[in-house]
Amino acid sequence: MSADRPIAVVTHPILEPGPTILAEACEVRSLPDQAKHSAEALRKAAEGAQGMVTQLMDPVDEELLSTPGLKVVANVAVGFDNIDVVAATRHGVMVCNTPGILDDTTADFAFALLMAAGRRLGEADRFTRSGAFNGWAIDMLLGHDIAQSTLGLVGFGRIGRGVARRARGFGMRVLYSDEMPATPEAEREMGVTRADLDRLLSESDFVSIHVPLTATTRHLISTAQFALMKPTAVLINTSRGPVVDEAALAEALRTGKIFAAGLDVYEEEPKVNPALLKLENVILAPHIASASVRTRSQMSEMAARNLVTGVRGGRPPNILNPEVFNQPRG
Ligand code: GLV
C-alpha cells in the first residue's frame, strides 16, 4: 500500500459498494465494530486521517474537527445533528450527508408506523401470540381509520412530501406546517394546505414529524402540544427523538390525551424511556426508517464517494458547508 494514499477512518461498518470505493482510493482504518464510540475514541481515531466516514451515533465535536490534516467528514445519514458543522467550517473541514436517496424508504416507513399505530398492529400481534385470540368479537382491538382522515405533517421537506403523496392514495386531507411555504402549484399538485402548528395539531387525526433536530425543534412537541391534540390522534416520529418530549409523550399516551404513537427515534438512543416500554399503545422501532437493502447500500456508496472526492481536494456532491472553499483553514 503506497504511503501517500489518504487515510480514511470508518467508524462503523458500511455496506457495499462503500468499502470497495474507499479501498480503491484510501488506506482504510476501521474502528472496532461496537454500537457506540466515545468522543474521545473518535478524536484519537481521527489523528493522522484525512477523511472519516461517520454515522449518526458518532459525536463529531470541535476538538475532533480541529485534528490537523482532517479534510472531510462523510456522515452516512441525511441528518447531521451529531456533527458541529459550524466548527467544521471554522476548521475548514467539509461535512457531507446522504440526502435524497432515503426519502421514499423513510416515507414508506413513516406510513407503516402510522397504519400500525392507528390500527393497533403491535398490540394485535402480541395478543395473538399470547393465545388470547379466542374468536372474532365486534369490539376487539378497535382502532381508527386512516382513509378519509386528516394527516398533519410537521415539516414539509422531501420526506414530509413523500408522506403527503402516500396519504393522497388513502383519501386523506393533508395539512402541513413549515417555515417555508410550498409554492401554490406544489400545494395544489399534492392537495395539501399549510397551517400553523397549533391548528395542525388540533385538527389532525395523524401527526407525523419531519423536521431536523435543531435548537428550535428540540421538544417542539411537549405537554402543551399534546393538550391541543384529539384524544383519538396518533403521533408518528421518524425524524429525531429529541423533537418530542418523551416523558410528556408517555404521559399523554398513558392518560389517553392521545390514542397512540409510532416511534422510530428516541431522545437518548439506544435507550428507550422505560415509561414508553410499559405502554401497549405505542409501536417502538429501533431507528430503521431508512433500513432497506437498496437504500442502506446507496447511502454507503454516497458517503464513500463524498469522502473520496473530498480527500482528493474536490468538491463532494453532498457537501453541507461549501463555504469552506472560500476561507482559509482555521
Ligand atoms: C437517519 O436517521 C438519517 O438521518 O439518515
| 3-class DSSP assignment, residue 122 | helix
Q: Ligand 1 atom 5: the closest Cα is on which residue?
A: 77
Give 319 Cα–ligand 1 centroid separation in angstroms. Answer: 16
With vertex at residue 270, the alpha carbon angle to CA 300 and CA 58, rounded to the nearest 5 degrees, is 45
Instruction: Give me the pLDDT at residue 133, please.
Output: 98
Give me the mean pLDDT over the 3-25 stretch.
95
Q: In CATH terms, are 7-100+293-324 and 103-284 the same topology? A: yes
Least confident of 164-173, 253-262, 319-328: 319-328
Residues 6+ apart with CB under 8 A from 173: 148, 149, 150, 151, 193
| 3-class DSSP assignment, residue 148 | coil
Q: Name beta bridge partners: 51.
A: 8, 72
Give 196 Cα–ligand 1 centroid separation in angstroms. Answer: 26
Give 77 Cα–ligand 1 centroid separation in angstroms. Answer: 4
Q: Ligand 1 atom 1: the closest Cα is on which residue?
A: 77
Domain boundaries, the chain: 7-100+293-324, 103-284
pLDDT at 329 > cutoff 90: no
Other Cβ atoms within 10 Å of 65 Cβ, number: 25
Q: Ligand 1 atom 4: the closest Cα is on which residue?
A: 79
For 159-191, write each residue's pLDDT tens digit.
999 999 999 999 999 999 999 999 999 999 999
For 18-35, write each residue's pLDDT tens digit.
999 999 999 999 999 888
Distance of alpha carbon 159 from alpha carbon 161, whole angstroms: 5
For 47-102, write each residue's pLDDT tens digit.
999 999 999 999 999 999 999 999 999 999 999 999 999 999 999 999 999 999 99
Q: Which residues have C-beta atoms less than 6 Å from ligand 1?
A: 56, 77-79, 102, 290
Q: What is the number of the ligand 1 atom nearest to the C-alpha of 287?
A: 2
Q: What is the number of the ligand 1 atom nearest to the C-alpha of 299?
A: 5
Angstrom distances, CA of residue 317 to CA of 95, 120, 229, 285, 308: 11, 42, 41, 31, 11
Instruction: Give me the pLDDT at residue 1, please.
Output: 43
Q: Which of 102, 108, 209, 237 most suits a substitution to test ligand 1, by most atoms within 8 Å of the C-beta?
A: 102
Give 140 Cα–ligand 1 centroid separation in angstroms. Answer: 36
pLDDT at 3 > cutoff 90: no
Q: H helices of the chain, where?
A: 18-25, 39-46, 62-65, 85-90, 103-118, 121-129, 158-169, 184-190, 197-203, 223-228, 246-254, 274-277, 293-311
Annotated active-site residue 199? The verdict is no
User: What is the percentage of the chain residues whose pLDDT exceeds 90?
Assistant: 96
Instruction: Give me the pLDDT at residue 326, please.
Output: 84
Instruction: Give me the pLDDT at residue 328, please.
Output: 62
Annotated active-site residue 43? The verdict is no
Domain covering 103-284 assigned CATH 3.30.930.10 in the classification: no
Give 79 Cα–ligand 1 centroid separation in angstroms. Answer: 5
Give the three cell numbers for residue 257: 390525551
Distance of alpha carbon 285 from alpha carbon 269, whole angstroms: 11
Give 78 Cα–ligand 1 centroid separation in angstroms. Answer: 5
Q: Among 37, 91, 161, 240, which one carries the catalytic annotation?
A: 240
Q: What is the number of the ligand 1 atom nearest to the C-alpha of 102?
A: 5
For 73-86, write each residue's pLDDT tens digit.
999 999 999 999 99
Annotated active-site residue 91? The verdict is no
Q: Name beta bridge partners: 64.
A: none
Q: What is the number of the ligand 1 atom nearest to the C-alpha of 238?
A: 2
Q: Which of 57, 75, 78, 292 most suits a substitution to test ligand 1, by most atoms within 8 Å of the C-beta?
A: 78
| CATH tag for 7-100+293-324 (out of 1.10.10.10, 3.20.20.70, 3.40.50.720, 3.30.360.10) | 3.40.50.720
Its pTM stands at: 0.96
